[in-house]
């Protein structure tokens, strides 16, 4: 079941945007990442890693020393520097904006912090209609630190794309209902059925907040956007379609009208963990590219997405993924064989961006990531 609305009237990105500029030193339109996201054949096999900007890098630990996570995200110069670090070190084909899914909550005025060793924790859980009604609205002015960080980053990246991101409504709302991390997300799953009106109001708030956060990044210079639904794998297909998909579609609707200089829409990626059973429903929320976690082979993901083969025998849905993060610490010959299998499996899709099937573990040796990038770039697209 698709809840995508008809395409909105195109809104052109600014003329100096990396997807619109005619300056070849700054244009990302023909970059390997954007080319693959749009189903073309890139000049080299593109790769980036979720959580590539983070604890696996000693330079990250150095610049973050003594600075809280949310404060790091909201200092434009620091957020930009952290975003750029893995591009310099690994030669990956994209930067992912350094932030967190609860940053827009903090910007809106919600009492939330990221507790080391625990994760996002709210001062007060959101569990009643009154709690939802009391939530503050995210203002356009409050997003200026995000825009500034993106502008600083894009100025340094040149023709390498920046990917903007936001947390999907279910994952964000799940944190809000639970008041923090949860293993099974019983609170939000119960609310969907026991108090659907309150659930829909909360998920609508989360969708609008995520959409505005993502749009600010894209308008300021990001060349693609990704919606992360970390906890959607806890849902049944029916629950996802009824209680979550419309809200993810709402989040995407905030950016679906944005087009580049030639009228092509900005690539939008949807990714979740443990979401093999709801992959087509996630696509139908409005993504143009599907991220696949390490549990599902890319060939099977392609089949489940029901892509109709084109003239070249490939499908119509570009894929992203899905190296198993657990293998990053395996012997090189084991890891190399796995990486080659992933690259080969991705050829079934019209476009394939190599990535992990989840984020980089903090204990990863960064030299291994660089070696993986070199290997992938050596393989003909």
Please tell me which residue in 100, 229, 260, 324 is annotated as part of the active site.
Answer: 100
Q: CA 339: distance to chain centroid?
A: 21
Rounded Cα–Cα distance for residues 344 and 319 (Å): 12
Told to judge if 229 belongs to the known catalytic residues of this protein, a careful annotator would answer no
Dig out the tokens for 40 from the structure: 């073309």
Is residue 253 within 8 A of residue 278, CB to CB? The reply is no
Secondary structure of residue 317 in the 3-state scheme: coil
Told to judge if 347 belongs to the known catalytic residues of this protein, a careful annotator would answer no
Residue 127 assigned as binding residue: no
Secondary structure of residue 350 in the 3-state scheme: coil
Please tell me which residue in 44, 55, 75, 371 is annotated as part of the active site.
Answer: 55
Residue 193 assigned as binding residue: no
Alpha helices in 6-75 (DSSP H): 32-37, 58-64, 69-74
Residue 230 assigned as binding residue: yes
Report the alpha-carbon angle 294-162-120, nearest 5. Answer: 60
Told to judge if 304 belongs to the known catalytic residues of this protein, a careful annotator would answer no
Told to judge if 195 belongs to the known catalytic residues of this protein, a careful annotator would answer no
Residue 80 assigned as binding residue: no
Told to judge if 55 belongs to the known catalytic residues of this protein, a careful annotator would answer yes
Please tell me which residue in 26, 38, 51, 189 is annotated as part of the active site.
Answer: 51
Q: Which residues contact 173 (CB under 8 A, 6 or more apart)?
A: 126, 188, 199, 202, 203, 206
Please tell me which residue in 26, 38, 60, 64 is annotated as part of the active site.
Answer: 64
Residue 175 assigned as binding residue: yes
DSSP state of 309: P
Please tell me which residue in 38, 106, 175, 240 is annotated as part of the active site.
Answer: 175
Residue 54 assigned as binding residue: yes
Residue 100 assigned as binding residue: yes
Is residue 191 within 8 A of residue 130, CB to CB? The reply is no
CA distances from 45 to 48, 64, 206, 339, 381 (A): 10, 32, 35, 12, 5
Rounded Cα–Cα distance for residues 136 and 130 (Å): 12
Q: Which residues are catalytic?
A: 51, 55, 64, 100, 175
Output the known binding site for substrate.
51-55, 100, 175, 230, 358
């Amino acid at each position: 079941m698709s809840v995508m609305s008809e395409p909105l009237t195109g809104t052109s990105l600014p003329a100096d945007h990396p997807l619109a500029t005619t300056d070849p030193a700054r244009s990302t339109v023909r970059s390997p990442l954007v080319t693959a996201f749009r189903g073309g054949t890139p000049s080299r096999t593109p790769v980036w890693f979720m959580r590539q900007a983070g604890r696996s890098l000693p330079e990250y630990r150095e610049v973050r020393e003594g600075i809280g996570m949310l404060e790091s995200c909201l200092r434009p110069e620091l957020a930009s520097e952290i975003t750029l670090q893995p591009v310099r070190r690994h030669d990956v084909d994209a930067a992912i904006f350094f932030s967190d899914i609860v940053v827009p909550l903090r910007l809106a005025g919600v009492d939330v912090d990221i507790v080391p060793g625990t994760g996002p924790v709210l001062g007060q859980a959101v569990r009643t209609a009154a709690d939802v009604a009391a939530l503050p609205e995210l203002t356009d002015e409050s997003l200026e630190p995000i825009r500034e960080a993106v502008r600083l980053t894009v100025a340094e990246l040149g023709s390498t794309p920046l990917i903007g991101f936001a947390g999907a409504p279910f994952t964000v709302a799940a944190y809000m209902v639970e008041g923090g991390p949860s293993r099974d997300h019983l609170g939000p799953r119960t609310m969907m059925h026991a108090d659907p009106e309150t659930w829909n109001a909360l998920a609508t708030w989360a969708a609008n907040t995520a959409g505005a956060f993502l749009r600010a990044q894209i308008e300021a210079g990001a060349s693609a956007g990704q919606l992360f639904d970390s906890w959607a794998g806890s849902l049944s297909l029916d629950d996802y379609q009824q209680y979550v998909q419309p809200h993810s579609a709402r989040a995407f609707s905030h950016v679906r009208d944005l087009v580049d200089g030639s009228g092509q829409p900005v690539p939008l990626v949807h990714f979740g963990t443990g979401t093999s059973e709801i992959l087509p429903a996630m696509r139908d929320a409005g993504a143009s590219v599907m991220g696949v976690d390490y549990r599902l082979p890319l060939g099977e993901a392609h089949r489940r997405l029901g892509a109709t083969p084109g003239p070249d025998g490939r499908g119509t849905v570009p894929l992203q993924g899905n190296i198993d993060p657990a293998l990053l610490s395996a012997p090189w010959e084991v890891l190399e064989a796995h990486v080659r299998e992933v690259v080969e499996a991705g050829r079934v899709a019209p476009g394939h961006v190599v990535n992990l099937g989840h984020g980089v573990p903090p204990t990863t040796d960064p030299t291994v990531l660089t070696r993986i990038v070199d290997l992938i770039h050596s393989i003909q697209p």
